[in-house]
Structure 1
């Protein structure tokens, strides 16, 4: 998601535009990987000394609720990234550097055949491992 589209979505949903929110979205938009709240806090602390984790998490939760960012858990903590598209796909996530790779294949049709008597409301498939660079 582009920064301008995310800001427009915030405004359309009745939320205030702030420089901090723009900087958070810009930070995620500049990185093609999952990032921890701590990494975001360290980045923002340079421009906003003393920025609190309450501020960080309040915005992360809001952005997640508005589908501006995605979240996942790995290595024992929640990580976040900018929402990358509006079409259905899954991700490979490097457990070392956090970079992601889109996987366009979805096995849901096959799984639905295996479970003909259930209604699946949603799913999330993530593959974890080391990317080519981290594995070298």
Structure 2
């Protein structure tokens, strides 16, 4: 995902363009890692002093619903990043210090013999947490 695709998707889904949304998306484009809502608020406070945490969080939730952002939980806090632009099925290794990610192209679901008549799997998530070379 990139900023222009994200803005186009928002427009297609009936959301208005705002400078705040574009700046928020640009922040994710520049960071290329998981970041918390408080980090987004802090980065945008200079340009928008009256911006509330609720406004940030509401927009982040909308971005996740639309598939623009991915969300994970690290240290009890929800963190967000741009959705991967690859269509290839993969999972992530996530650095607990800096939030950077690497793709993992092996899926543990392939090893599981899951079949059930009373449960239909529609999605799954696999994340590995540790420390990148720069942070360890």
- Counterparts of 1:66 and 1:116 in 2: how far apart (Å)? 29
TM-score normalized with structure 1 length: 0.93
Question: Per-residue deviation at 1:88?
Answer: 1.8
Structure showing the higher helix proportion among its residues: 1
Question: Per-residue deviation at 1:2?
Answer: 1.1
| Aligned match of 2:91 | 90
| Aligned match of 1:4 | 4
Question: Per-residue deviation at 1:120?
Answer: 2.3
Alignment of 1:108-127 (within 5 A): 108-111=109-112, 113=113, 115-117=114-116, 119-127=120-128
Question: Per-residue deviation at 1:116?
Answer: 3.2
Question: Per-residue deviation at 1:129?
Answer: 0.6
TM-score normalized with structure 2 length: 0.93
- Counterparts of 1:116 and 1:59 in 2: how far apart (Å)? 37
- Counterparts of 2:115 and 2:16 in 1: how far apart (Å)? 46
Name the SS for the 1:28 alignment partner: helix
Question: Per-residue deviation at 1:47?
Answer: 1.0
- Counterparts of 1:55 and 1:119 in 2: how far apart (Å)? 35
| Aligned match of 2:27 | 27
User: What is the RMSD computed on CA atoms of the aligned residues?
Assistant: 1.2
Name the SS for the 2:78 alignment partner: strand
Name the SS for the 1:101 alignment partner: strand
| Aligned match of 1:63 | 63
Q: Which runs of 5+ in 1 are unaligned?
A: none
Q: Which runs of 5+ in 2 are unaligned?
A: none
- Counterparts of 1:72 and 1:87 in 2: how far apart (Å)? 19
Question: Per-residue deviation at 1:107?
Answer: 2.0
